[in-house]
Structure 1
C-alpha cells in the first residue's frame, strides 16, 4: 500500500524503515507520511512494531535501514495559534533527512530530537525535580533558551492544562493523570514540529483517562502534527485523521479513521478491531 497522499505538505516522511533486535525483525520496510497539522494513530497488537517506530522518530532507537525526513518548520502549521496557552510560535528549522543505511552521527540524532518530542507511556518525569523544573529542563539546558522565557511559557502551558498550582510539586505528589498532563506540557515546551505519544493512557486508572484524552484532542484541534500509538479505538476514531494498522512489523491497512475502525478491508484488521471493541 502507498503512504498518505499529499507528500508535499508532509511534516514527516518515512521510507523503508527496517529494524531487528538480534534474530527478531520488528520493522519490515515501513513507509509513512504525516501531513502538516494531521494526526496519525498507530494501532495493532503488542509486538507489532508501533513503539519502535515512535522511538526511531525520536532518536531513541536506531533503525537498520530506511530514511526519516522531518520537513521544514514554519510559524504557521503546528500549533500555529501559539502552541496553545501562549507558548509562542514554533521556530523555523531546515528540513532534516536521516539515512539509516549510512552512518548517522550524534549531531543528526540530536537534530531529530530537536524536531520531535515524545510523551511516554509511564510519564518519565524526573522524580527529584519539581513540575516546573521538569518542564524547563529541555528548553533551558538543551535548547539554551533564557530561563525566564522558559518559566513563563511553562507556567502558561500548566495553566492551560489546569495544573499551574502544582508547579512546585514533585511527581510523587501528583496523580497518574496529572503526571501525564505534565508530560504533555514538557513535550509542548520544546516547541516540536512533531508530537509523539506512546500509549499515553495505558498506565492510567480508567477514571483518569478522560482528562488526558481531552488535552490531546484539543492539541489536534489546534493543528499540532501528531503520531499516536493507542489501543483507545474510540479516541482514535474521534481524533485521528488517519489510522495505520500494523501487525508483524508491517503495515496491514491504512486509511481514514472512520473507514479503518468501522469498515476495515483486511481480515486481520477486522479481527483486531472486533476483539478490542468487544473488550470495551
Structure 2
C-alpha cells in the first residue's frame, strides 16, 4: 500500500552533508535535502553536476565519502561506516529500502518478462514463488504489460522494456523508487509511455526521486525540484517556482538552454 504525505508528515528521505569525490574530482559538495512520504523529488542540472551520483548514493551503489542518508528507520553515517563486512552490511540495509530504475533496461535477455520481474523477490528476498508471480502479474497490469508476461525482452520496444524495469523495481516493495534518466535511451516517440507510468506512480503516492532532463514532465510531477550545478544544490523549491520562475541566474541559463534544444 502506498502512503501520502498528508498521512505521514515525517520525512521519508533525509540527506545531510553528502560529499563524494572520484579520484581528485569533487562530485558532491554538501548535499542536504529531505523528502516526505508520498512525494516526488525531481533532480535537474547540467551534465556532470552530480545528479546521478546523488541517486546512486541514495541506493548505496556509490558510497559517499561522508554525510548521512536516512530512509525511514534505516540511517547510515558514511563518515563512520565501518570497514569490511560490517560496512557492506550497512550499505546493503540502505540499498534494500529503494528500487532503482536505470537509464538502460538491464533486463535478463534469456528470461521472460515475468521471470525478470520475479527474480528479485524470489532470489534476493526469498519470497514464495507463487506469491511473487501473483504480485508480478498485478504490477505488469499496472504498467500496461499484462499481456506480455511470457514474452522475451527482444520482443518488446524500448519503452516496453523500460516499463518492465519499473515493474521489476516495484516488485521489491521498496520504500523509495529511484529513476535515473529513465527516458534518455528511448526514441522520442516512446518517451511518453514511460513518463505516463511514472506520473501514475507519483499520483498513487509512491515516494520517488527522479533524475530527468524532461523539464515539462518535471513540472507536472514534482513536489520539489533540486537544481544541481558543480556538485551543489543551487536552487530548490516547487516545480512551478524552480522551473517556471527561478530565482537564480544559473538556473535560468540552464532552463533557457534545455528548453531551446
TM class, shorter-chain normalised? over 0.9
1:180 aligns with 2:162: yes
1:102 aligns with 2:80: yes
Counterparts of 1:24-173 in structure 2, within 5 Å, are: 24-71=25-72, 95-104=73-82, 105-173=87-155
- Count of equivalent residues: 250
Deviations 1:179-206 (A, max 9, x none): 0000000011111000000001111111
| Alpha-carbon distance in structure 2 between the residues aligned to 1:201 and 1:96 | 30
| Alpha-carbon distance in structure 2 between the residues aligned to 1:97 and 1:184 | 25
Secondary structure at 1:69 match in 2:
strand
Deviations 1:48-99 (A, max 9, x none): 000001111112110000010111xxxxxxxxxxxxxxxxxxxxxxx01111
Provide runs of 4+ in structure 1 moved above 4 Å.
none
| Alpha-carbon distance in structure 1 between the residues aligned to 2:111 and 2:158 | 16
| Alpha-carbon distance in structure 2 between the residues aligned to 1:140 and 1:194 | 20
Secondary structure at 1:264 match in 2:
coil
Residue aligning to 1:84: none
Question: What is the CA distance between 1:271 and its match in structure 2?
Answer: 0.2
Contact 2:9–2:37 (CA<8 Å) still a contact in 1?
Answer: no
Deviations 1:7-51 (A, max 9, x none): 961100000000000011100110010111100100000100000
Residue aligning to 2:222: 240
| Alpha-carbon distance in structure 2 between the residues aligned to 1:196 and 1:112 | 13
| Alpha-carbon distance in structure 2 between the residues aligned to 1:41 and 1:159 | 26
* TM-score in terms of structure 1 length: 0.87
Residue aligning to 1:264: 246
Question: What is the CA distance between 1:108 and its match in structure 2?
Answer: 1.4
Deviations 1:186-231 (A, max 9, x none): 0111110000000011111111011111111110111010000000
The runs of 5 or more residues in structure 2 that have no matched partner are 1-7
* TM-score in terms of structure 2 length: 0.94
| Alpha-carbon distance in structure 2 between the residues aligned to 1:64 and 1:239 | 31
RMSD of equivalent CA atoms: 1.1
| Alpha-carbon distance in structure 2 between the residues aligned to 1:27 and 1:59 | 14
Contact 2:65–2:78 (CA<8 Å) still a contact in 1?
Answer: yes
Residue aligning to 1:87: none
Question: What is the CA distance between 1:106 and its match in structure 2?
Answer: 1.6
Residue aligning to 1:251: 233
| Alpha-carbon distance in structure 1 between the residues aligned to 2:250 and 2:221 | 23
